Amino acid sequence: MLDWLKKRLGSKHQPVHPPWRAGQYVTYFLEREDGTWTAMAIRLHGQLDDGSWALSADLKTPLGECTAWFRSDPRAPLDVPDPTPGRVERIRGAPMSGNVDVATLVQRPEMQTSMAMNLLLVRRWDAAKEALGGAAREVRYPCGIDRAYPLVTPIPGAEHQKHHDLNPRVMLTGVACLSIDGGKNPITVTSFGWSDPKGSMPDSYDDFVDFSHPKRVDHEGFSLAYPATWFLRSEETEESGLRTAKHFAQLGGNTCATTLSVTLSHGDEAQVAAERDGIVSRLEALPGSQEGEVRRRTEDVPVLSGDAAGFAFDFSGPAIDGFSANGVFRAEAGDRVAHVSLFGCVARGNPRRDRALADMRAVFRETVESFQFS
Q: What is the pLDDT of residues 271-288, one digit of tens each?
A: 999 999 999 999 999 886
Calpha distance 170→119 (Å, rounded): 11
pTM surpassing 0.85?
Answer: yes
Confidence of residue 291 (pLDDT cuts 50, 70, 90): low
Neighbours of 60 (CB within 10 A): 25
- Assess contact for 253 and 266: CB atoms under 8 A: no
**Residue 3, pLDDT score:** 45
Query: How are beta strands 53-61 and 222-227 bridged, if at all?
Result: unpaired
- Residue 72 burial class via C-beta count within 10 angstroms: exposed 0-12, middle 13-18, buried 19 and up: buried
Calpha distance 237→244 (Å, rounded): 5
The structural domains of the chain, ordered by start, are 2-194 (no CATH), 214-373 (3.40.1000.10)
Q: pLDDT digits over 59-83, tens only?
A: 999 999 999 999 999 999 988 989 9
Please tell me whether the peptide bond between 83 and the residue prior to it is cis, using omega within 30 degrees of 0: yes
Calpha distance 225→138 (Å, rounded): 33
- Assess contact for 172 and 192: CB atoms under 8 A: yes
**Residue 344, pLDDT score:** 98
- SS3 (DSSP) at 222: strand
- Assess contact for 179 and 160: CB atoms under 8 A: no
The more confidently predicted of residues 99 and 148 is 148
Neighbours of 371 (CB within 10 A): 20
Strand spans (E) along 73-144: 84-92, 137-141
Calpha distance 58→39 (Å, rounded): 8
